[in-house]
Chains A and B, each alone.
Chain A
Amino acid sequence: MAESIPASHGDHEVGHHEEQGFVSKYLLSTDHKVIAMQYMFTGMAMAVIGGFFAYAFRMQLAFPGMDVPGWGLVTPNDYNALVTNHGAIMIFWVAMPVLIAAFGNYLIPLMVGCDDMVFPRLNRLSYQIFLLSAIVLMASFFVYGGAFGGAWTMYPPLSAKAEYSLTQLGSTIFVLAVALEFVAFLMGGINFITTAMNSRAPGMKLYDVPMVVWMIVVASILFMASVGPLIAGAIMLLFDQNLGTAFFDPDRAGDPILWQHLFWFFGHPEVYVVLLPATGIVAEVITTFSRKKLLAYRTILYTVFGTGVLSFTVWAHHQFVAGIDPRMAHVFTVTTLLISVPIAEMMFVYIGTLYGGSIQYTTPMLWALGFLVTFLIGGVTGIFLGASGADIYFHDTYFVLAHFHYTFFPIAIIGTFAGVTYWFPKMFGRMMNETLGKIHFWGTFIPFNAIFLPLFYLGVAGQHRRIYDYSAFPELAQYQDIRVFATSALLVMLAFQVVFLWNFFHSMFRGEKAGANPWKANSLEWAAPSPPPHGNFPDGLPECHRGPYEFSHPDREEDYWPQNQPA
């Protein structure tokens, strides 16, 4: 085979690589696995910051005017900046880098059976731009006027004019950071798509590609196709803020609604951009631990394509009462409810995959099942918001907030934990502690529901969003006990994350050694040693002989059948 790597160079620096120092090996490396780790650890650090913000503003909500330990008094300005940056960080600097960039970088080359991304240096550049964007965002907290507090949606005129937002520099930095982040992910996306399309192992047909790779690729395409208008919008908004143009300024013939269209044309597909990789991870985990073939591989693919296409036609359901032509709401109600069909179908296929299985309740499996349970709630509550008649009441209440936390939390946190616990043995060559893993799962899963189920109730009771203190609203002030309860649950959940951090870092160095394929799974990454060396497959790049989900095949003694094993 012309492309096999010479194996004589030892396990570490295969072929063309020389011994490297710490900086060039871990900070400037072009190895996709190192870049994946960079994304993951940056994402984890940002998650700690985003979680800390949540802690600070939830404490203020539960105990208004309190000196929050670690933050101090949460002023109205602080509160707005905290919720704004919590939202932006969790979506742009946690969900996207971890789910798409970290798992995409780590898994795509391994799962399609090649040695690296097709453009390693572009990959490194995209991480560096991403890191820069994170630093730029954090800098906004230290400039005069403080960080931007006009919500992560950045609606003008509030975001465009300093005399309204009172954060001249903060708003500019926020928009700039978001735009930089988009550029980083566009570069990463081109890499993911091209690698998955072109660098598949010999014999790997399109329907032999593991679901998570498909999902990350489709997510990258969705991102690429939706983010352009918002990049254009961000440039226009930056000009409005700093050059005095009037694209979104109604006083000078601009149109603030235009921004909302540009934002949500990206903003709604963005939900599926982060959702799809998480569902891909779940597909890998539930097939492996129920020892079952995915019930309907192609059906899932079609639902993904259907969802992807439909996701471009639903954006204005975020703007039903925003002053758009009310007749448009009819169209967007129909498209929004239509999207429930492919998503429900996908859920049914996942749940149906369990049928006839032999389910092992390992930690990753618990996370994957937990994803389905919570995402189901997130999905069904979305129907209320997509139906125009009901949305008049629910728009901008805590019902919306609870709904999207029931979608984003399963995606960004539960899905990520499923992926991290599942591929940890591959990444670091050691197993995580199962008992601690299960304690962490229940310590996250139960408090999560305890935080957000009550918030549905508050939303139904008419509590509106982004208010730092409800004491001015007698009808809402009476629900203070519920707020205290939700905040307490948050504290419990945050406390349990310490278990994870301990388990993660302790297992990384002290965990039980894992073999190449500890879960007896099929896809190609398990054919590489754990952790895979630079170049991934020291014994030559694998060939693919079958689909990734051939579990419990009746002709075989063993209940798995790796993709690279000749028939």
Chain B
Amino acid sequence: MLELLIPQASTFAGDIDFVIELIFWIVLFWWALTQGAFCWLMFRFRRKDGVKAEYIDGSETYPKKVITWAHMAVLVFDVVIVVYAVQVWHNVKITLPPAEQTVRVIGQQWAWTFVHPGPDGELDTADDIAMNDELHLQVNTLYHYKLESKDVLHSLSIPAFRLKQDAIPGRVITGWFETTKTGDYLFQCTEICGIGHALMPARVLIETPEQHAAWMAANSPVSVAAQAPQAPVAVALGAPVQE
């Protein structure tokens, strides 16, 4: 249902959608039932001349029984929701499957810097590729992200991955996702971070292995050091970041 609006581009996007849809159908059922009963009561017991309201003093069992049953049922449905929600949460946020690649994501007022491991596949080496506002990923690869912030709270949000995580200055937060589909996806900052909060869009570009290799070859600071920078501009680590 949700994928009609937003593509699913990570392995757990489907799981999260399932939880959302499960809750949707449960609450829709409850909402319709309650709303239906409510409308019926409002219609059935509208004022009629000469008809006095009933005096129900709390000792009658019928209305009480209805409410007790409804309330037990709410509890049961709650348990179902909790089980699925907690399972998905555990899978997405608590377990950390071994990484094939690691990227560093740095938020600051008001831009994102993405540090990709270069051809050697390791972060913090000379061939790292740092880019503003463009995250290049390879399809069907399990990534760890290391999320940092230079100033205030930011939040990494990739709707197509159904992933969200706040960045906290002074901490490095590690999480994971696995890409499943090539394409060009939205990357947002979802925690208010000052007047430029609306100016922090970035793109997630998921590429086939061939495309990714070609991009890497073209942008690696080691191999392209002699060439003039191409658009989009790759910036060396530590260089001032431009908008």
Residues of A whose CB lies within 8 Å of any CB of B are: 75-77, 80, 149-151, 155, 157-158, 161, 164-166, 250-251, 256-257, 290-293, 295-299, 320-323, 326-327, 329-330, 333-334, 337-338, 340-341, 344-345, 347-349, 351-352, 354-361, 369, 372-373, 376-377, 380-381, 383-384, 387-390, 392-397, 460-462, 464-470, 472-476, 551-554, 559
Contacts and interface: CB of A to CB of B under 8 A. Distances in A.
Nearest to B35: A376
A76 B198 contact: yes
Contacts of A388: 85-86, 88-89, 93
Interface size class of B (residues with CB under 8 A): 35 or more
Interface in B72-114: 74-75, 78, 81-82, 84-90, 92-94, 109
A164 B70 CA distance: 50
Contact of A356 (B27, B48, B54, B70): B54
11 contacts: A164-B152, A250-B171, A290-B45, A322-B168, A359-B46, A390-B20, A392-B89, A396-B191, A466-B192, A472-B199, A552-B52
A208 B146 CA distance: 60
A337 B82 contact: yes
A347 B159 CA distance: 34
Interface stretch (B57-65, B115-123, B215-223): B57-65
Interface string B22-44: 01101100110011011001100
Contacts of A476: 186
Contacts of A75: 195
A321 B55 contact: no
B214 interface: no
Contacts of B164: 321, 392-393, 395-396
Nearest to A473: B201
A360 B75 CA distance: 34
B165 interface: yes
Contact of A377 (B31, B167, B193): B31
B153 interface: yes
B126 interface: no
B2 to A, nearest CB: 7
Contacts of B88: 388-390, 392
A464 B190 contact: yes
A348 B64 CA distance: 10
Interface in B1-35: 2, 5-6, 15-16, 19-20, 23-24, 26-27, 30-31, 34-35
B169 to A, nearest CB: 5
Interface in B143-171: 151-153, 155, 157, 159, 162-171
Contacts of A341: 71, 74-75, 78
Contacts of A394: 20
A164 B207 CA distance: 36
A162 B195 CA distance: 12
Nearest to B41: A354
B5 A460 contact: yes
A89 B194 CA distance: 20
A293 B56 contact: yes
Contacts of A340: 74, 78
Interface of B: 2, 5-6, 15-16, 19-20, 23-24, 26-27, 30-31, 34-35, 37-38, 41-42, 45-48, 51-58, 63-64, 66-67, 70-71, 74-75, 78, 81-82, 84-90, 92-94, 109, 151-153, 155, 157, 159, 162-171, 173, 186, 188-199, 201
B33 to A, nearest CB: 11
A302 to B, nearest CB: 12
Contact of A256 (B34, B168, B197): B168
Nearest to A322: B166
Contacts of A384: 20, 23-24, 27
A314 to B, nearest CB: 13
- Of all A-B residue pairs in the complex, the 5 with the closest CB atoms, nearest first, are A250-B170, A389-B88, A356-B54, A462-B159, A387-B85
A15 to B, nearest CB: 39
B19 A157 contact: no
A292 B56 CA distance: 8
Given A80-B197, A333-B89, A389-B88, 16 more contacts: A150-B192, A161-B152, A293-B56, A334-B86, A337-B78, A337-B82, A344-B70, A389-B86, A393-B16, A393-B20, A396-B155, A461-B6, A465-B190, A470-B198, A472-B201, A552-B54
A299 B68 CA distance: 11
Contacts of A466: 192, 197-198
Contacts of A333: 82, 85-86, 89
Contacts of A467: 197-198
Nearest to B169: A250
Contacts of B35: 373, 376
Given A369-B42, A472-B198, A355 B56 contact: yes
Given A256-B153, A345-B71, A552-B55, A390 B85 contact: yes
A518 B169 CA distance: 61
Contacts of A250: 168-171
B132 to A, nearest CB: 14
Nearest to B163: A392
Contact of A355 (B27, B63, B165): B63
Contacts of B89: 320, 326, 329-330, 333, 388-389, 392
A357 B54 contact: yes
B47 to A, nearest CB: 5
Contacts of B48: 358
A189 B137 CA distance: 56
A345 B67 contact: yes
A431 to B, nearest CB: 19
A257 B42 contact: no
A344 B74 contact: yes
A191 B36 CA distance: 42
